[in-house]
Chains A and B, each alone.
Chain A
């Protein structure tokens, strides 16, 4: 496993666009960790568009805001469209160098705002879309979303009837839109995440960052384990870190020898009802998807 480099630490220490202390995130929030790093990379010359979800609350209630950049709160399904409008308005006023960032959770992205995300990708709007994914509707109290993995407990998929279907494949969905830049990342691997943020920032057109941000209360683990859970997700290949630039050249982050999926699963209470056989089936699906991914990456690099 790689450790953050010194230059990463230096980059994280420089000023950015927030959030400042006083934000309302839960202890151990993966989402706010992702936001802190993103805001530092993006700097002050950006506009955030944030739909309903944890981050809409985390930023702070009127008249407070912990972000140091302008922020437009918008309805749940409207982040991508509102961001497209902000982009058009800024362009109309000659502010082409301002980065427009839609920052939306998995519910807003995988489910209710899905059509709008697809349309913005289709138009290749010059917008950076960040989906911070904690794999359920955590802000409303842990209901399943299209990003919830099979077998997971949520309040609407109780232990007696856990989610039967797998997580939507956002990598396949977004890259099928042939957007200029797609990457999956997690703040638990800051070098990789920061580099991807920089490339996303410096690319024009529709850029999609899929950021895995574990949620201690929602996924049922101790708040000191956020980074551990995210790292296990990557090292066990449950959440591969991938980059697709220019619609081709798929690269997969090499996290070394895989760690057992079981270790990732057993860190989280939302999987505590799964017996060993079910965990093995989970692992088999992770393995199958990993092989598909590597096969795809090799095909892409051959072309």
Chain B
């Protein structure tokens, strides 16, 4: 902990808001949706109280929030929005636009299931449905990590010229209070100085952005986005090291628990990790060498770190809180491809629509691996009634 840091008890949504404040974000455009609202309420309060020198735009839709962020970002300003679920789905068109326009917008995404039927509780189907939009995605495991990830997201986004999403579980993080260290403003300023855009909407140097592109150049534009994603992986490591230097806290693509000698491993994203760690301890107490992995960085996909962490030949359960209907869990499919020839992967789907992933749930998944009852070629539904 930095000596001048302040330790406060705040929710995940407040952690997000404080990160946006300390990042000296210049434009915030947002539309309310449960469970995101307290993020923007907090930021609106910061702006009104003079704690932030930012323009706060309340839009009439999330589509407009992202459009406004793109416009602001194109002027060279630092822009942020936050949303959830239906709001993220409504933004979808502009998520693609933000990437294509190479605007480093940062989005706080509070994971909530998609309707119908209505629910406001957590799963990852909303953010997973945006995986092909060209946004970096970081799934937080704690309120502190929500805060840290947001600062890192701005840093990497502005260097790679790619937008970034900081993802947190609805209610489990968004509305639960934890201790969070807020570093002093000078430390943040050192890590994340004012944005200096190389090219922007500048009447002294006029350019047209986003006009019609023909086949002779469109594909190259797409290629450059993919190259930027690939380069961003290295930037994340580099800036996470700088963040660690400044704060003593670690941000890394994959977090692991007792994996080194594991004979079976489970991988998840978000707060379910705690249940898997508890199950690992319980199993190890009974002589089973289990391990758990939490994926913090989902885009760019950390294929190489995954191969390095998962012991060769150890069966891996990938637990998705989302379904790609007609196929399987989105992370499971990608992990399977990344670990081809390295370790067998079984895909599990659990915790949809806010259903808890308890230590017993996690233990059940490990047992399915151990007892060889999990099927590798289909979705293994966890605790679901037929």
Chain A residues near B (Cβ < 8 Å): 17, 44-47, 49, 56-57, 59-62, 64-65, 67-75, 77-78, 80-93, 95, 98, 115-116, 118-119, 122-123
Chain A residues closer than 8 Å to B214, beta-carbon distance: 61-62
Contact A88 B212 (CB under 8 A): no
Contacts of B58 in A (CB 8 A): 123
Q: Is B162 an interface residue (CB 8 A)?
A: no
Can you name the residue of chain B whose Cβ is closest to the Cβ of A83?
B71
For residue A84, which residues in chain B have a CB less than 8 angstroms away from its CB? 29, 57, 59, 64, 68, 71
Binding site for A on B (CB under 8 A): 26-27, 29, 54-55, 57-61, 63-65, 67-77, 79, 93-94, 97, 201-203, 205-214, 217
User: Which residues of chain A are near B29, meaning CB under 8 Å?
Assistant: 81, 84-85, 88
| Contact A61:B68 (CB < 8 A) given known A67-B208, A88-B55, A88-B77 | no
Kindly identify which residue among A44, A61, A89 contacts B75, using a CB–CB cutoff of 8 Å.
A89
Asked if residues B57 and A85 are in contact (CB atoms below 8 Å), the reply is yes
Contact B210 A73 (CB under 8 A): yes
Between-chain CB contacts (< 8 Å), 9 pairs: A62-B208, A71-B209, A71-B211, A78-B67, A85-B73, A93-B77, A115-B61, A116-B64, A119-B64
Contact assessment for A62 and B67 in the assembled complex, using a CB-CB cutoff below 8 Å: no
Asked if residues B74 and A86 are in contact (CB atoms below 8 Å), the reply is yes
In the bound complex, CA of A227 to CA of B149 (Å): 58
- Do the beta carbons of B71 and A49 come within 8 Å of each other? yes
**Within the assembled complex, what's the spacing in Å between the Cα atoms of A247 and B68?**
26
Whether the Cβ atoms of B73 and A89 lie closer than 8 Å is yes
A68–B76 alpha-carbon span in the complex (Å): 20
Chain B neighbourhood of A88, CB < 8 A: 26-27, 29, 55, 57, 68, 71-72, 77
Report Cα–Cα, A296/B191, bound state, in Å: 60
Cβ–Cβ < 8 Å partners of B79 in chain A: 85, 89
Task: Determine the chain A residues whose CB is within 8 A of the CB of B97 once the complex forms.
Answer: 74-75, 78
Pick from B26, B75, B202, B208: contact of A73, CB below 8 A: B208
Q: Which residue of B lies closest to A78 (CB)?
A: B67
Given A89-B76, A116-B64, CB of A81 within 8 Å of CB of B202:
no
A90 touches B75 (CB 8 A): yes
Instruction: Give every chain B residue within 8 A of A85 (Cβ-Cβ).
Output: 27, 29, 57, 67-74, 79
Contact A82 B201 (CB under 8 A): no
Q: Would A92 and B208 count as touching, CB distance under 8 A?
A: no
CA gap between A68 and B202 in the complex, in Å: 11
Chain A residue nearest to B26 in the complex (CB): A92
Q: In the assembly, what is the distance between CA of A45 and CA of B204, in Å?
A: 8
With the chains together, A72 CA to B68 CA distance in Å? 12
Question: Do B208 and A71 touch (CB < 8 A)?
Answer: yes
Instruction: Find B206's partner among A62, A68, A122 (CB 8 Å cutoff).
Output: A68
Whole-angstrom distance between the Cβ of B30 and the nearest chain A Cβ: 12
With A88-B72, A89-B76 known as contacts, the answer to whether A118 contacts B212 (CB < 8 A) is no
Q: Decide: A93 and B55 in contact? CB cutoff 8 A.
A: no
Q: What is the CB-to-nearest-CB distance from A43 to chain B, in angstroms, rounded to a whole number?
A: 9
CB of B215, distance to nearest CB on chain A (Å): 11
Chain A residues with CB below 8 A from B94, complex form = 75, 78
In the assembly, what is the distance between CA of A221 and CA of B210, in Å?
32
* New A-B contacts (12) at CB < 8 Å, excluding given A84-B59, A116-B59: A62-B211, A65-B206, A71-B208, A72-B201, A72-B210, A73-B210, A81-B63, A81-B67, A86-B201, A90-B201, A92-B54, A116-B64
Is B203 in contact with A45, judged by CB distance below 8 angstroms?
A: yes
The answer on a CB contact under 8 Å between A70 and B68 is no
Which residues from B are CB-within-8-Å of A119? 59-61, 64
Bound form: Cα–Cα A69–B26 in Å: 24
